[in-house]
Chain A
Amino acid sequence: MSLVADRVEPSTKMDVPESESQADERNRSLIKISNFDFFYGDKQALFDINMDIAEREVTAFIGPSGCGKSTLLRCINRMNDLIDIARIGRGNVQVNGVDVYDERVDATELRKRVGMVFQKSNPFPKSIYENVVYGLRIQGINRKSVLDDTVERCLKGAALWEEVSDRLDTSGLSLSGGQQQRLCIARALAVEPDILLMDEPCSALDPVATAKVEELINNLKNRYTIVIVTHNMQQAARVSDKTAFFYLGNLIEMNATVQIFMSPEKEQTEAYISGRFG
């Protein structure tokens, strides 16, 4: 089946689940990256990446610094558009069958469906309430009842409701680091994305806060497709269903997490996981 022929208008396509049964896989592929080359100026950052990311699974990207895992993550919601010298060499990234770099695709629409949580927690310097409803307000949704419902639903979804329900009007910056990161997750959930990209969400958190975020990721995967970049291999092993190992801009190996950690196929993967480099 040709990828191009399969393409439908972006606005309608992304909501409609593909009806045809895709082979005999348990979960169908939601993100499909094909022959993808990516450059910063003249420097090639990604080489011929091919991967399928399944729906409602947690996929972890691991690899040493500078291996291109964050770059690839930011290609999925086109956050790399913000960098002037970034450009695509070849291939494409498809979300739900739509090439996200198609000129008809509106990047802001894409980002509503592909949410992102950043390495450094970055709540807005506003109240907790306003942080959560920001994504709705900029769409012009201002009805109090809708906003109130969203705040409760998303804060519960991000396992933060219990801790902050009595002080929603205090600044998001008054929260602890781990709470701030969960607030950022709640904020991302408010725009009802299908996919949640997480760029090293726990790298600045202590072990207790990390455990909470990981537990949250486990709960969220029932409803969201999650891609998480992490430096922490134990974390990848704990939270992910699939793991992809990157090295110097190449995807070395991608497989079920158990497989990757117990019996990797490639020598390099084995070396990285066992701590011999990286």
Chain B
Amino acid sequence: METALLGTPTRAKSIERIVFWLFRLATYFVLLCAAAIFADIFYKGGKTVFQSAFPFVNVAFLTESPQTLHVFEHAGQKYELSDSAFRIFKEEQGVSIVSETYAYSGGGIWPCIVGTVLLVVGAMLIALTLGVLSAIFLSEYSRPGKTLNAVRLSILNLAGVPSIVFGIFGMGMFVLAFGWNVSLIAGWFTLAFMVLPIVISASEESMRAIPQGLRDASLALGATKWTSIRTNVLPYAMPGILTSSIIGVARVAGETAPIMFTAAYALRDQLPWQGLERWYDFFFQGVMALPYHIYVVSAKIPQNEYTSRMQYGTAFVFLFIVAGITLISILLRIRMRKKYRW
């Protein structure tokens, strides 16, 4: 008896230790991969976005449109100038210069930043409105049964559909059938439909997690069903709904496939608010977008050291923006959680 208590580690104990290390190593491996990806983008992208001289941030990269880069030698010095700067330089010098040109490698990505923010905000507004309304119906009004199960199942299946399928659907439906052409609004709806399954299932879950007692209590005080939902289900479910929208934002912002046929231009000179004849033309114009821009500069044009700078710079800014939008949603959620606690 004594020896058993004090004795050497048992078999069960060594299995315990092995399993524990398995979990620990798996976690470390995942962290390592994530860290490697981030470090690569931060290191290489940082070189494009930041600079050693004041103001330390490459302002042109963040505020200009993509341009062709001219690389040439003049008077014994090597120049790398974007197209607009190159023209001015030529005029000042009054000479003709032969330069090597690299498409998309000069200027900046401002129109892509604007386009991505517009796409994300619009798509999330549509997805949250449609998603929350359907979730209210599914969780509060519909009767349980085969039909409801079928609806739930198809929504879940929709979440597994590849994004390119949504892109093709959006093109067929919004761009061609509705005649919206390649436009912001077509992109909004395509992206919104893609995240709807996430938003609906998560919203429904968070509404069903609200204790039935709260609904009963408000009904017993003479509330109608809608009043009860409005005052005692939705406010408390909101943090959960926002959590789902955080996942949604990351997906909407990151997808290339759904917008490449519906909303994205490879290059557009005007910003979305420029050159509008009527106010609603705003919705019917294509935009540039960060993920599509990364795709274009990394897959559609000849590769060289100059395009590589562009790719990493864009990816860096892109990560930064997604992190920013996510951060805002998280802060909002924390504020709401503080307000309602049970």
B231 within 8 A of A: yes
Chain B positions within 8 Å of A79 at CB level: 216, 219-220
A163 to B100, CA, bound (A): 83
Report B303-342 CB contacts with A as 1/0, cut-off 8 Å.
Answer: 0000000000000000000000000000000000000111
Q: Are A122 and B216 in contact (CB under 8 A)?
A: yes
B213 within 8 A of A: yes
A3 within 8 A of B: no
Chain A positions within 8 Å of B223 at CB level: 108, 138
Report B34-58 CB contacts with A as 1/0, cut-off 8 Å.
Answer: 0000000000000000000000000
The residue in A82, A122, A187 that gathers the most chain B C-beta atoms within 10 A of its C-beta is A122
Q: Are A122 and B214 in contact (CB under 8 A)?
A: yes
Contact count band on B? 20 to 34
In the complex where A84-B143, A173-B341 touch, is A124 in contact with B217 (Cβ < 8 A)? yes
Give the shortest distance, in Å, between A28 (CB) and chain B (any CB).
Answer: 25
Which of A7-15, A55-63, A111-119 lies at the binding interface?
A111-119
A184 to B236, CA, bound (A): 19
Closest to B144 in A: A84
A203 within 8 A of B: no
A49 within 8 A of B: no
Closest to A78 in B: B219
Q: Are A125 and B221 in contact (CB under 8 A)?
A: no
In the complex where A138-B227, A184-B217 touch, is A125 in contact with B342 (Cβ < 8 A)? yes
Give the shortest distance, in Å, between B218 (CB) and chain A (any CB).
Answer: 7
A97 to B92, CA, bound (A): 99
Q: Are A173 and B342 in contact (CB under 8 A)?
A: yes
B232 within 8 A of A: yes
Q: Are B222 and A139 in contact (CB under 8 A)?
A: yes
A108 to B223, CA, bound (A): 6
Chain A positions within 8 Å of B236 at CB level: 125
Chain B positions within 8 Å of A171 at CB level: 341
Chain A positions within 8 Å of B231 at CB level: 134, 138
Give the shortest distance, in Å, between B221 (CB) and chain A (any CB).
Answer: 4
A191 to B220, CA, bound (A): 10
Q: Are B216 and A124 in contact (CB under 8 A)?
A: no
Contact count band on A? 20 to 34
User: Which one of B143, B213, B232 lies within 8 Å of A118 (CB-CB)?
Assistant: B213
Give the shortest distance, in Å, between B333 (CB) and chain A (any CB).
Answer: 16
Q: Which B216-242 residues sit within 8 Å CB-CB of chain A? A: 216-224, 227, 231-232, 236
Q: Are A112 and B221 in contact (CB under 8 A)?
A: yes
Report A76-118 CB contacts with B as 1/0, cut-off 8 Å.
Answer: 0101001010000000000000000000000011011001101
In the complex where A84-B143, A138-B227 touch, is A125 in contact with B220 (Cβ < 8 A)? no
Q: Are A111 and B217 in contact (CB under 8 A)?
A: no
A173 to B143, CA, bound (A): 31
A135 within 8 A of B: yes
Q: Are A122 and B222 in contact (CB under 8 A)?
A: no
A20 to B302, CA, bound (A): 99
Chain B positions within 8 Å of A84 at CB level: 143-144
B7 within 8 A of A: no
In the complex where A125-B342, A138-B231, A173-B341 touch, is A111 in contact with B213 (Cβ < 8 A)? no
Q: Are A120 and B213 in contact (CB under 8 A)?
A: yes
In the complex where A82-B216, A135-B222, A191-B221 touch, is A122 in contact with B227 (Cβ < 8 A)? no
Chain B positions within 8 Å of A173 at CB level: 341-342
Q: Which A5-32 residues sit within 8 Å CB-CB of chain B? A: none
Measuring CB to CB, which residues of chain B are less than 8 angstroms from any residue of chain A? 143-144, 211, 213-214, 216-224, 227, 231-232, 236, 340-342
For the complex of A and B, the 7 pairs showing the least CB-CB separation, nearest first, are A122-B213, A112-B222, A116-B220, A135-B221, A125-B342, A122-B217, A125-B340
Measuring CB to CB, which residues of chain A are less than 8 angstroms from any residue of chain B? 77, 79, 82, 84, 108-109, 111-112, 115-116, 118, 120, 122-126, 134-135, 138-139, 171, 173, 184, 187-188, 190-191
Write 27 A-B pairs (CB below 8 A) sorted by A numbering: A77-B220, A79-B216, A79-B220, A82-B219, A108-B219, A111-B221, A112-B222, A116-B216, A116-B220, A122-B213, A122-B216, A124-B214, A124-B218, A124-B232, A125-B214, A125-B341, A125-B342, A126-B340, A135-B222, A138-B221, A138-B222, A139-B222, A173-B341, A173-B342, A187-B217, A187-B221, A188-B221
